[in-house]
Amino acid sequence: MRNQLRILRAQREWSQAELSERLGVSRQTVNAIETGRYDPSLPLAFHIAKLFEKKIEEIFEPDGSGNA
Amino acid sequence: MMTETANRSSRGTEAFVWGIVWVISYFGARMALEQMGEPQPDLGRILVALVPLLPFVAFLWKFISFMRAADELERRIQLEALAIAFPLAMVLLMVLALVQLATPLNPNDWSYRHVWPFLPIFWLGGQAIARRRYQ
């Protein structure tokens, strides 16, 4: 799954550590999501969307294959 | 007020420290028992053998506390670590059981005290593999 997390974070000039604090997850988790190595759970995705005041689908989108 | 991240980190550190105490107490008990002579049914020896249980229980308590506070990625890493470690432990014990049927194993080389350290090694190895995947 691709996502816009790094871009959105950069727009707000937040560090990964700062974002991880706001989300209540580890910095490793934020990094893994940004690099596409880890797909967040639905509750965490909702939390991210709420934090950035966007819809989930504006932040996360499936890969070209259509598989999540 | 302690943040969630700091709280998780603190619990992880506490579990790690108790893990170290446990390992030290294991080797301490082992050395003490070896210095007390040959194995024999003696209450004092049994009590010394059980000493490492105390720090282990503390380690387990702290580790469970750490896991309960862990975020979803850390939980996944731990799950994948166990998914690697448990089958490895099974296969080690299975192979030893079969080899033991094939040929006598020297208890000075292959006994519980030689085999159990493989289990935490597999677990730590599984954690390293799983962690690397998400870096």
d(CA B110, CA B102): 14
d(CA B63, CA B12): 7
Instruction: Examine the pLDDT at A68 and tell me if it is beyond 70.
Output: no
Q: B40 vs A60, which has greater pLDDT?
A: A60
Residue B29 DSSP label: H
* Predicted pLDDT of residue A67: 47
Predicted TM-score (pTM) of the model is: 0.85
SS3 call for B14: helix
Q: Which residues of B touch A32 (CB under 8 A)?
A: 73, 134-135
Testing the interface with B: which of A28, A30, A42 to mutate, by most B Cβ within 10 A?
A28
- Our CA dihedral for B34, B37, B41, B47, rounded to 10 degrees, sits at -40
d(CA B119, CA B109): 17
Residue A28 C-alpha, separation from nearest chain B C-alpha, in angstroms: 7
Closest CA to B23 of B62, B64, B51: B51
Q: What is the ipTM metric for this complex? A: 0.86
pLDDT (tens place) for every residue of chain B, 135 residues total: 457 777 777 888 999 999 999 999 999 999 999 999 888 888 999 999 999 999 999 999 999 999 999 999 999 999 999 999 999 999 999 999 999 999 998 888 888 989 999 999 999 999 999 999 998
d(CA B2, CA A58): 32
Q: Which residue of A has its CA nearest to B8?
A: A26
Residue B112 C-alpha, separation from nearest chain A C-alpha, in angstroms: 37
